[in-house]
């Protein structure tokens, strides 16, 4: 680096050198901040996926338990929200007859209603038809 001499052989940085150092430092900091905020967004997405998977597993267990107790599922569609801790998550279920082997299809979707990406977890299982013995 060039340093100018001032009086009694004292050396110092020029204004241009200081401004260039500040610009380089600013560019580096903006890259670090951008990476930090991307990391935070990634954590949010991971949390939503984890919560969705947990809630889908829980809700599917409820449907399967009801199917066992009632000897089958009620065909049709349904939807709802989860408890207060997960009130931003919605579930939708669709029970339809498979038409083969006395089985019904149970599809369950869980998604975050506040998410702009439309990500969802979808589970599909097959349960015994009510008319099949």
What is the rounded average pLDDT for all residues in the chain? 86
**103 alpha-carbon distance from chain centroid:** 32
Residue 1: pLDDT over 60: no
* pLDDT score for 94: 93
Per-residue model confidence as pLDDT tens digits over 29-78: 999 999 999 999 999 889 988 999 999 999 999 988 888 888 777 888 99
Cα gap 76→105, rounded to integer Å: 10
Per-residue model confidence as pLDDT tens digits over 84-109: 889 899 999 999 988 787 788 899 99
Cα gap 120→13, rounded to integer Å: 57
Do the beta carbons of residue 101 and residue 46 sit within 8 Å? Answer: no
* pLDDT score for 6: 56
3-class DSSP state of 99: coil
């Amino acid at each position: 680096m060039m340093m100018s001499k001032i009086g009694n052989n004292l050396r110092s940085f020029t204004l241009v050198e200081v401004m260039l150092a500040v610009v380089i430092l600013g560019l580096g900091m903006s890259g670090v901040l951008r990476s930090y905020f991307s990391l935070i967004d990634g954590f949010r997405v991971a949390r939503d996926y984890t919560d969705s998977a947990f809630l889908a597993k829980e809700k599917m267990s409820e449907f399967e338990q009801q199917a066992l107790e009632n000897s089958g599922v009620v065909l049709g569609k349904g939807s709802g929200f989860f408890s207060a801790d997960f009130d931003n998550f919605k579930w939708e279920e669709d029970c339809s007859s498979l038409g083969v082997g006395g089985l019904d299809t149970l599809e369950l979707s869980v998604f975050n209603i506040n998410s702009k990406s439309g990500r969802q977890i979808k589970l599909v299982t097959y349960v015994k038809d009510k008319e099949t013995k």
